[in-house]
Amino acid sequence: MNCVRFIFLLSYFWLSSLACDQSDPLVVELPQGKLRGRDNVNYYSYESIPYAEPPTGDLRFEAPEPYKQKWSDTFDATKPPVACLQWDQFIVLDNKLTGKEDCLTVSVYKPKNSSRSSFPVVAHIHGGAFMFGGADQNGHDDVMQEGKFILVKISYRLGPLGFASTGDRDLPGNYGLKDQRLALQWIKKNIACFGGEPENILLIGHSAGGASVHLQMLREDFGQLAKAAISFSGNALDPWVVQQGSRGRAFELGRILGCGMAADSATLKKCLKSKTANEIVTAVRNFLVFSYVPFAPFSPVVEPADAPGAFLTQDPRDVIKSGKFGQVPWAVTYVTEDGGYNAALLLREWHGTGRTFLDELNDRWLDWAPYLLFYRDSKKTIKEMDDYSRAIRQEYVGNERFSRKNYLALQRLFTDIVFKNSTQEALDLHRKHGKNPVYAYAYDNPADRGIAHFLAMSFDSTFGTIHGDDYFLIFGNLVRNPLLRSDEKRISKNFINMLADFAVSKQGILKFGDCTFEDNVGSEKFNLLFINRDGCENKQYVQFP
Ligand SMILES: *[C@@H]1O[C@H](CO)[C@@H](O)[C@H](O)[C@H]1NC(C)=O
Ligand SMILES: *[C@@H]1O[C@H](CO)[C@@H](O)[C@H](O)[C@H]1NC(C)=O
C-alpha cells in the first residue's frame, strides 16, 4: 500500500469514527439519517437496515444499487430481518414459499461492554444452497453471550431472483453475490458508527455462505473490505456452486411462467420482470426432480467478461491459479460426514409406499445421481455421464444394492463429491498459488441432533458428524439440540474465541483452544487441524482422511 493511500485510509477511518455521535448507544447516525436499535439485556441490535435500493420492479435481475433514500424520521431498526423470497427446503409443507422480494438489509448485533469503546467485526453470510435461508436461521445468543465482537448478518437475493442467468450481458446472473459485496462495502463504510473496527473485519459463512465467502475473496480487491475470511463446509470449487447449464434453466423458467419460447435474453428478461416475484420463486418446484433435489438449481455462474458489473468472469480454479485474488488469510473447513445433509433424505419414505427413496434409487441411479451430485450439466455426453455414475457407485458401494445397511457408504460418496474432495482441491490450489496463510480443519464430533436427523425424520439414527454439527455450535439453529453437551459448550467457546482473535490478529494467526493452525502455503502435505470431542491436534496428510 503506498503511503498517500495509507494516510488517506487512516484519515478516512478517523473522520468516519469522529462523524459518529455515540452518546446514546441505541441511536446511530448514518449518512442517510438516524436509526434506533433495541436493547436486549446483554447486547444491542440494529436490524433490517437497508444497504441497497429494493431489488424490485426494474431493478429485479440487475446488480444492486446502493441505498439512496434519506430518513427524515428516525429509522426503526427494531424489526427482525425478513428473509429474501425463497422456496425453502426446511418448510415441511407443500407450499414452501416464504420471505419478501424487498429484502436487502444488514443486521448489526453489538455486545454490551462499557469498558470497551470498540469491537472487531464478524460479517456473516448465511447458508442455504443459494436458494433459501436468512438471518434468523443463525441464532446469535451464544456469540453475544461471549461479547467479543460485533456481528453483522447479511441478506442477499436467493434462487432465481438471485441467480437466474442466460450467460450473457442481458441476464448475467450472480445478483446475490453482488448484493453481498455491496453489503460488505456498506459494513466497511458504516460499522465505525456502531462501534465496530473497520480495520478488523472477518468474513465468515457456512455452506453456500462459505462458498460465498470464498467467491468474495476471489475478487482481487477483497482485502479492502475484510482482513480475513473463513469458509465453513462450503467453498467456490464445490460442484453445486459455480454450475453450467444456467442458460437452459433461465429459458425453462420463462417457459414455465408463460413467456413462451423467448427469442433472446432481453425478451426473456422483460417477460420475467412482468411476472410477480411469487410466481418466479414458486417455479423452483419445477426444477426439483424429487424432494429438494437438486438442492441448488439456481446458483453462481461464470459471467461473460463484457457483462456490466460482472462479479465472476473466470472459473474459480483459474482465478486461484492466476494468483489474482484477495490476499488475506483464509481458512476452509469440513466435517467428516458433510454429505449427510444430502444423503439423509433418501432414508425417507417414497410417497407413502412403504419403500424408501433409497430403495427407489436402486432402479433410478442413472437418472438421479447426476442431479444429486451435480454433474448433470458438466459431462459432455450421456454415455460419459452414465459411465461416471456407474463408476462412482462401484467405487463406493460395489455391487451391493442401496439399503439402510450400506447407507453410510453412500453417505461417504456424497461427502466426497459434494464437499470434501473439492475442499481438498481448493486447499491444494491455494497452497500452490496463495501468498497469505491458508488454514484448514476437519471436525469429527457428532451432534445428538442435527440436519440429517431432521431431513431423515429419524431421531434414532447415527449419521456421524454432519454438515452444520460444528457451525451450529457457534450460531444456534432450529435443527440443533438447544442444550449443548459439555464438550460442545467448550468447543462453542473455542470457536467464538477463534473468530474474535482472527479478526484482530495482525499476523493472520488462527487458533482454536490450545492449538495454533499451521499454514498450508508452500507445504508439501496438507496441514489439517483435527478437532473432536477430546480437543484438537495438528496433523499432516497427503490426502484428506
Ligand atoms: C469487557 O471488555 C473487557 C476488555 O476487553 C474484558 O476484559 C471484559 O471481560 C469484558 N466484559 C464482559 C462482560 O464481556
Ligand atoms: C475423492 O478423493 C478420494 C481421495 O482423495 C479419492 O479416492 C476418491 O476417488 C475421490 N472421489 C471422487 C468421486 O472423485
Coil, strand or helix: which one is 334? strand
Q: Is residue 338 part of a domain?
A: no
pLDDT at 14: 46
Give 102's contacts (C-beta < 8 A, 6+ positions apart). 54, 55, 56
Residue 160: closest CA among 209, 237, 97, 105: 97
Task: State if residue 416 touches ligand 2 by the CB under 6 angstroms criterion.
Answer: yes
Question: Which residue's CA is the nearest one to ligand 2's atom 9?
Answer: 395
Give 406's contacts (C-beta < 8 A, 6+ positions apart). 397, 400
pLDDT at 11: 46
* Domain containing residue 240: 2-295
pLDDT in tens, 361-408: 999 999 999 999 999 999 999 999 999 999 999 999 999 999 999 999
Catalytic one of 126, 140, 214, 467 = 467
* φ/ψ of residue 200, rounded to 5: -125, 65
Q: Is residue 108 part of a domain?
A: yes
pLDDT at 455: 92
Cα–Cα distance for residue pair 296/174, rounded to 1 Å: 13
Q: Is residue 22 scored above 90 in pLDDT?
A: no
Cα–Cα distance for residue pair 77/70, rounded to 1 Å: 15
Question: Which residue's CA is the nearest one to ligand 1's atom 3?
Answer: 115
Residue 207 annotated as catalytic: yes
pLDDT in tens, 235-253: 999 999 999 999 999 999 9
Q: Is residue 17 part of a domain?
A: yes
Task: State if residue 421 touches ligand 2 by the CB under 6 angstroms criterion.
Answer: yes
CATH number of the domain to which 277 belongs: 3.40.50.1820
Per the structure, the count of domains in the chain is 1
Ligand index nearest the alpha carbon of residue 544: 2
Q: Is residue 537 part of a domain?
A: no
pLDDT at 17: 47
Q: Is residue 408 part of a domain?
A: no
pLDDT at 144: 98
Lowest-confidence pick of 12-26, 241-255, 272-286, 527-541: 12-26
Catalytic one of 155, 207, 492, 505 = 207
Q: Is residue 133 part of a domain?
A: yes
Question: Which residue's CA is the nearest one to ligand 2's atom 3?
Answer: 421
Q: Is residue 329 part of a domain?
A: no
Q: How far is residue 350 from each of residues 255, 435, 442, measured CA to CA in Å?
A: 29, 50, 34
Q: Which amino acid is at 182?
A: L
Residue whose grid cell is 491444494: 428
Distance 295 CA to ligand 1 centre (A): 42
Question: Which residue's CA is the nearest one to ligand 1's atom 1?
Answer: 113
Task: State if residue 541 touches ligand 2 by the CB under 6 angstroms criterion.
Answer: no
pLDDT in tens, 26-40: 999 999 999 999 999
Coil, strand or helix: which one is 172? coil
Task: State if residue 543 touches ligand 2 by the CB under 6 angstroms criterion.
Answer: yes
Q: Is residue 32 part of a domain?
A: yes
Q: What is the pTM of this model?
A: 0.95
Residue 467 annotated as catalytic: yes
pLDDT at 132: 98
